[in-house]
Amino acid sequence: MFDGLSDKFGDIFDRLKKRGALSESDVSEAMREIRVALLEADVALPVVKEFIDGVKEQAVGHDVLKSVTPGQMVIKVVNDHLIEMLGPEDAEINLAATAPVPILMVGLQGSGKTTTTGKLALRLKNRDRKKVLVAGLDVARPAAQEQLAQLAKQAEVECLVSVFGEQPVGIAKRAMDTGRREGFDVVILDTAGRLAIDQALMSEVADIRNTVAPAETLLVADAMSGQDAVNVAKEFNEKIGITGIVLTRVDGDARGGAALSMRSVTGCPIKLMGVGEKLDALESFQAERIAGRILGMGDVVGLVEKAAEVVDQEKAEKIAKRAMKGQFTLEDLQEQLAQVKKMGDLGGLMGMLPGVGKMKKQIAEANIDDRMIARQEAIILSMTPKERRNPKLLNAKRRKRIAAGSGTSVQDVNRLLKQYQQMSSMMKKMGKKGMQGMMPGGMPGGMMPPPGMKF
Amino acid sequence: MNDAPKTGWLSRLKAGLSRSSSALTQGINDLFTKRKLDAAAIEELEEILITSDLGVATAASLTQKIAAGRFDQEVTSEEIRSALAAEIAQILEPVAIPLELDTSHSPHVILVCGVNGVGKTTTIGKLAQTYVETGKKVVLAAGDTFRAAAIEQLQIWGERTNCPVIATELGKDAAGLAFDALEQAKSMNADILLIDTAGRLQNKTELMAELGKIVRVIGKIDDTAPHSCLLVLDATTGQNAHSQVEIFAEMIDVTGLIVTKLDGSSKGGVLVSLAEKFGLPVHAVGVGEQAEDLRPFKAEDFANSLMGLDG
């Protein structure tokens, strides 16, 4: 969700930052570009207009013009307004009903209903200590019920056994009966994907709703959705009455403007977001995080989470401790490279850092890419264990051998060794100063993010 | 792919598109029953195109072309719509290329990829049906070894279409499965091998690398394979479709696109800007859940339907 909006807003706000005072025309100009940026991010047109009007009203005000840095003030106004429109973020799943509490999952084909049903079941089981039953009402897509059964097994929750030929309303009834009889707290009903304009299927899901009277009707929607998301959300809300939205595929690189559209047009809170393929990758909605990404302030939370996910904490601490004592070896460096690599595409990673959006070109030109890490790794792997622990052994002959073994040149080997020495001495210094909280798995020297980019 | 009776395909596409384009044409109708094409009208026209996912840049350039020579003149909505349809058809014409099979390959290997939930498996089922009906021997490979019940889903399509399905267990290496499937398809003397893959978001480096591996591994048996790499796009997707095409095409040699879910209310307008930017062939569109709902893509029909005009 970074590229477009981040870059665009970065440009606009850079220009604003450079000006002393903001006139109404300045704000208007910025708003025009924000409008385009939001449209490119798939925010629906009516919602864009509403947003711009709201921001403009707040921005072209006394406060802004008199404040010390007007540009920053505008950024804040835009950001606050975005968070406000996206929020609230403390909207929990409503379980305040007589058990078993029915939850109905609805949405278009391929929006991720079945996967989300599995994730939600796991979340309610673990977080809320609920006894959960899931039931597959999708009799249209081949193996949809089988998919839910498999996910339920992974989540270790019960899944209603399907009966061949049974229709959705019948399945819903049987699920609720089973839920009552066997003392379940929650029954999640996974419906088939349907088009909002398919009258027959929409009235089918309305029948299901009338049968079970769900405490929650969640619209599952894809973060990559285009302008039409606004119509889909409106239709589902009018015909079935939704109580919340689940935004899926937030871990993709879509700009996610649809979230703003759907939130705005239905008035229903975004309750959860899917952030990965694993069953536990379902999180409470964080408006600030999404807004931050949209506005190009970087998804720091996402970066930290990603780091926490892949960095082996124990190993990282061990390396840090040794580094402080001046015992940082090439083996440790290789371990760090491997962890950086595990975090995925370096370009994508950099994109998560605030303000880096615009530097992407420079980064590409500087050749700081994944291949460089792979090359550095290859160089270290071409050394003997003894050499890795004691780089002083590396004379010209050995360096030549390593270069040949790793398919690089002696210069490449030298460069890596120099980097290693710089890192090593820097870490020693940090150790002496007793600096705490050194970033585990820090990037090798020369790859440190440029100054001004803070975590 | 065989052309179905023209009425069938056209009415289906139009039935789907008319619901969506009704909003679009309604917008244009409201704008110009008979009105002067001034700056305000041009801006409104541009906005209407943007709401069809054409994207800001394409909407602007199309509007400019329409406005040229007509500025400050009285125009009708009919006139504007025809002119827009003609412009759009012109953009789409070069990419409306049916999927050609090369019968010298035995089998012709088709790899189907895309992000999660776009309809890859369903599209494979439909393709299989189409080819079986034309007398081809088709083998399916259940290469989505990640998602729960993806294998079962393809197996059901295999039963429906009477095609053998080469499958392995969940969690197994997809590239290995593809390799085995190609070997078996060869020994079965199949004409076509359709390989399903797991849905993957294009920004997941490791998953994209896995896709590259599948292509490399297939190449070990037949260095011309895969002969077609189809990227399936969901018509409800917005501008992110650009990122999808760009990154997938970077990783593997995408030879063509298939656009699904065009029977909904989304307009698939992003196709127009995709055609401008990448020029990749659009082989087919999906306009329903049945096997016969996969249709060849036709530029003029698509553009006319989008603009609510009779083909």
Beta carbons of B13 and B304 less than 8 angstroms apart: no
Give per-residue pLDDT as tens, A40-60. Answer: 888 899 899 999 988 888 777
Q: Does A227 touch chain B (CB under 8 A)?
A: yes
Q: Does A94 touch chain B (CB under 8 A)?
A: no
Calculate Rg over the CA atoms of chain A.
27
Reply yes or no: is the peptide bond before residue A102 cis, omega within 30 of 0.
no
Which residues in chain A are closer than 8 Å to B204, comparing Cβ atoms?
A: 251, 344
Which residues in chain B are closer than 8 Å to A45, comparing Cβ atoms?
A: 47, 50-51
Report the amino acid identity of residue A234.
Answer: K
- CA–CA gap between residue A325 and residue B22 (Å, rounded): 71
Q: Ranked by mean pLDDT, which of A4-13, A333-342, B110-119 comes out on top?
A: B110-119
Q: What is the 3-state secondary structure (H, E, C) of chain A?
A: CCHHHHHHHHHHHHHHHCCCCCCHHHHHHHHHHHHHHHHHCCCCHHHHHHHHHHHHHHHCCHHHHHCCCHHHHHHHHHHHHHHHHHCCCCCCCCCCCCCCEEEEEECCCCCCHHHHHHHHHHHHHHHCCCCEEEEECCCCCCCHHHHHHHHHHHHCCEECCCCCCCCHHHHHHHHHHHHHHCCCCEEEEECCCCCCCCHHHHHHHHHHHHHHCCCEEEEEEECCECCCHHHHHHHHHHHCCCCEEEEECCCCCCCCHHHHHHHHHHCCCEEEEECCCCCCCEEECCHHHHHHHHCCCCCHHHHHHHHHHHCCHHHHHHHHHHHHCCCCCHHHHHHHHHHHHHCCCHHHHHHCCCCCHHHHHHHHHCCCCHHHHHHHHHHHHCCCHHHHHCHHHCCHHHHHHHHHHHCCCHHHHHHHHHHHHHHHHHHHHHHHHCCCCCCCCCCCCCCCCCCCCCC
Mean pLDDT over residues B169-182, rounded? 95
Q: How confident is the model at residue A8 (pLDDT cuts 50, 70, 90)?
A: low
**CA of B102 vs chain A CAs: smallest distance (Å):** 31
> Would you state the structure tokens that stand for residue A153, as one six-digit string?
């097994």
So what's the pLDDT on residue A5? 45
Residue A449 has pLDDT above 60, yes or no: no
- Optimal mutation site among B22, B116, B120, interface A, most CBs of chain A within 10 A: B116
Question: Could you tell me which residue, A36 or B283, shows the higher pLDDT?
Answer: B283
Question: Which value does ipTM take for this structure?
Answer: 0.86
Beta carbons of B217 and B175 less than 8 angstroms apart: yes
Which among B50, B51, B264 is the nearest to A108, CB-wise?
B264
Interface contact flag, A146 B149, Cβ < 8 Å: yes
- CA–CA gap between residue B28 and residue B49 (Å, rounded): 9
Which among B118, B152, B206 is the nearest to A143, CB-wise?
B152
Interface contact flag, A110 B153, Cβ < 8 Å: no
Q: Mean pLDDT in chain A?
A: 80
How large a percentage of chain A has pLDDT more than 90?
44
So what's the pLDDT on residue B161? 95
For residue B181, what are the contacts with CB-CB under 8 A and spacing of at least 6?
Answer: B139, B141, B143, B166, B193, B195
Residue A453 has pLDDT above 50, yes or no: no
For residue A418, what are the contacts with CB-CB under 8 A and spacing of at least 6?
Answer: none
Which among A141, A143, A228 is the nearest to B266, CB-wise?
A228
Beta bridge partners of A274: A282
Give the pTM.
0.78
Which among B116, B119, B289 is the nearest to A249, CB-wise?
B116
Which among A195, A225, A252 is the nearest to B201, CB-wise?
A252
Q: Hey, which residues 282-301 in chain A have their CB within 8 Å of chain B?
A: none
For residue A123, what are the contacts with CB-CB under 8 A and spacing of at least 6?
Answer: A272, A280, A282
Give per-residue pLDDT as tens, A325-377. Answer: 777 788 888 887 777 766 655 555 555 554 444 455 555 555 556 677 888 88
So what's the pLDDT on residue A355? 46
Lowest mean pLDDT among A92-96, A192-196, B74-78, B251-255: B74-78
**CA of A140 vs chain B CAs: smallest distance (Å):** 9
Nearest residue on chain A to B146, judged by CA atoms? A277
Nearest residue on chain A to B58, judged by CA atoms? A40
- CA–CA gap between residue A100 and residue A97 (Å, rounded): 8
Nearest residue on chain B to A1, judged by CA atoms? B240
Interface contact flag, A36 B51, Cβ < 8 Å: no
Q: Mean pLDDT in chain B?
A: 88
Q: Hey, which residues 129-168 in chain A have their CB within 8 Å of chain B?
A: 140-144, 146-151, 154
Q: Hey, which residues 322-361 in chain A have their CB within 8 Å of chain B?
A: 344-345, 348
Interface contact flag, B51 A44, Cβ < 8 Å: yes
Which among B146, B237, B289 is the nearest to A226, CB-wise?
B237
Which among A39, A40, A143 is the nearest to B156, CB-wise?
A143
Mean pLDDT over residues B230-236, rounded? 96
- Optimal mutation site among A40, A108, A227, interface B, most CBs of chain B within 10 A: A227
Q: Rounding to the nearest 10 degrees, give the CA dihedral for residues A40, A43, A44, A46.
A: -110
For residue B12, what are the contacts with CB-CB under 8 A and spacing of at least 6?
Answer: B263, B287, B288, B293, B295
Burial class (CB in 10 A: 0-12, 13-18, 19+), B61: middle
Calculate Rg over the CA atoms of chain B.
21
So what's the pLDDT on residue A354? 47
Q: Does A231 touch chain B (CB under 8 A)?
A: yes
Give per-residue pLDDT as tens, A237-284. Answer: 999 999 999 999 988 888 888 999 999 999 999 999 999 989 999 999
Q: Which of A238, A215, A248 shows the shortest CA–CA distance to A103?
A: A215
For residue A372, what are the contacts with CB-CB under 8 A and spacing of at least 6?
Answer: none
Interface contact flag, A251 B201, Cβ < 8 Å: yes
Which among A109, A253, A277 is the nearest to B261, CB-wise?
A109
Q: Does A110 touch chain B (CB under 8 A)?
A: yes
> Would you state the structure tokens that stand for residue A366, as one six-digit string?
């500087």
CB pairs under 8 A between A and B: 152
Burial class (CB in 10 A: 0-12, 13-18, 19+), A101: buried
Mean pLDDT over residues A154-168, rounded? 94
**CA A362 vs CA A14, A358, A359, B132: distances in Å:** 18, 8, 5, 52
Q: Does A374 touch chain B (CB under 8 A)?
A: no
Nearest residue on chain B to A198, judged by CA atoms? B264
Mean pLDDT over residues A181-189, rounded? 97
